[in-house]
Amino acid sequence: MKKKLLLRLCLILTVLLSLPSCTNEDLYSSSENEKQEILSKSPWKEDQVYIRKVQKIFLQNANLQYFERKYGTVHWDYAMSFGQFDESYLVVPILKGNTVVTAMKVYRIDDRVYFREKNDPEFISFFTDIIFKEISGIDEKVVNSPTSAASKTIEYKCTYRTITVGCFESQSNCEPLSSTVSECKWRETGGGSAQMEICNPLECENGGGGADPGFLYPDPPQDDPCLKASSRNTKAKSIMNKSKVSAAKTEATKTLATDTEEKSFSFGKDSNGDYKTSAVVSGTSNSTNIPGSNGQFTIEGTAHTHLNGYYNAFSNGDLYSFQAANANTPTMLYSFAFASDGSTYLLSITDPVKYATFAAQFPKSGNIDGNNGFKEGTELYNTFKSATEQFISQNFSEDDAFAYATAHILNKYDTGATLSQQDDAGNFNSIFINETITPPAPGETKPTSTFSPTADCNLQ
């Protein structure tokens, strides 16, 4: 949109127990393991709701004979969620006979779960000890990064699990052997190896490995939008650092100062988990299309330029274009805008259902004009204009005022999308706006709203 004068913990939990019993008794056979209710043999508390639901998804989609020939038998009774109880993550051992040969991690992103192989020697050894050896003690430590109670952001959460093999309190002259493994939640936001082939890729459309868009997860929990926004920001920085994405950005912006047409590209991961991009394409002075992937990668997002003389942040029309793109391609959750002054903005989706609801309640046809701005006289126009004018009166630049008003729209109408800006260190920081409403003064009929940027997350 063209510029106008007025529009512009560390929490540590340690549990030490003594377990004098052996854990290698009564291993389920393949048929028992796949059919009966899971009876957890983990010495720790696990997210059994998630484990049961993931097992059901696996059994509904897997060709067990094919999977067992290729990988081995999944032993769900030893599945572990490593301190996560939000239906988001588990690791489960895979055995051939009495040998742990690999492990499978299953993580959830929104309403999709992904099955990845975790062929890690430390985890193979860890599960071997848990299943087949005498465990005399266990320990668990959960460590969160420094957390702001106000902003509710968590950079990562790591769980360290230690087992001690061979020595009990009654034994003397015994040297115990301990081993520790760890899992950090922030690492499980996507990427990594291709999905495991839970069925023969020559015989099934889904589940055949590669860049499959995951499996539908029923009734996902309502995630904290502030934590999800923080996660989106972390992932966005990682995406921008990928070599192919960085190269596409360089190509799209190298002549931005004098360009007369916007440029765009899409990006995502291929079947090997590597980031790829589409070709950079050109559009018009205030719009551009989102290129497809031609089947070469699963699209995660898009990026486009904003020309000199236009606002740095996303136009009002961009909010609708991105929602439509997500409705067509549910894996598309990130959109970047590269401005002519070098700034970069991120529009990320934290709740696709809310975003679709907003677009249905305030349809594009009735709310966006021919210049990609809100139509004059509409509720969105009045709300946006009021916030923009007030930010300008507070001596913010037109570009900042426009971005802040956009962030206010996204939060006020509970859109399920958030706006962030990249700083000099490459980090993306969410833009939150505080609205203070003052009751009408005597003789007046309308309350007064006062807007101000805030570091505190106030997403609904």
pLDDT given at position 215: 87
Q: Which of 346, 253, 354, 351 is nearest to 306 (CA)?
A: 253
Q: Which of 452, 259, 262, 291 is nearest to 372 (CA)?
A: 262
Q: Which residue has the tokens 């999709």?
A: 112
Q: Which of 345, 283, 292 is nearest to 319 (CA)?
A: 345
pLDDT given at position 2: 58
Q: Are 352 and 362 in contact (CB under 8 A)?
A: no
**In sequence order, which residues have a C-beta less than 8 Å from that of residue 6 and are 6 or more positions away?**
385, 388, 389, 392
Distance, CA of 112 to CA of 343 (rounded, Å): 32
Distance, CA of 20 to CA of 208 (rounded, Å): 43
Q: Which of 330, 304, 342, 332 is nearest to 423 (CA)?
A: 342
pLDDT given at position 254: 97
419: which 2 tokens? Answer: 């706006």
pTM of the predicted structure, to 2 decimals: 0.60
Name the CA dihedral angle for 188, 88, 81, 64, rounded to a multiple of 10 degrees. -90
pLDDT given at position 145: 55
Distance, CA of 393 to CA of 387 (rounded, Å): 10
Rounded alpha-carbon distances, angstroms, from residue 158 to 11, 145, 244, 460 = 10, 9, 30, 27
Rounded alpha-carbon distances, angstroms, from residue 166 to 129, 133, 141, 427 = 10, 8, 21, 47
Q: Count other C-beta atoms under 10 Å from residue 322's C-beta.
A: 24
Distance, CA of 438 to CA of 336 (rounded, Å): 36
pLDDT tens sequence for the chain (460 residues): 655 433 332 333 233 333 333 333 344 434 444 444 568 999 999 999 999 999 999 999 999 999 999 999 999 999 999 988 889 899 999 999 999 999 999 998 877 888 999 999 999 999 999 999 888 888 888 776 544 433 333 345 688 889 888 765 555 666 667 888 888 764 344 444 567 888 877 777 655 555 556 788 988 776 788 888 988 999 999 999 999 999 999 999 999 999 999 999 999 999 888 999 999 999 998 888 888 887 899 999 999 999 999 999 999 999 999 999 999 998 999 999 999 999 999 999 999 989 999 999 999 999 999 999 999 999 999 999 999 999 999 999 999 999 999 999 999 999 999 999 999 999 999 999 999 988 888 888 788 889 999 988 988 7
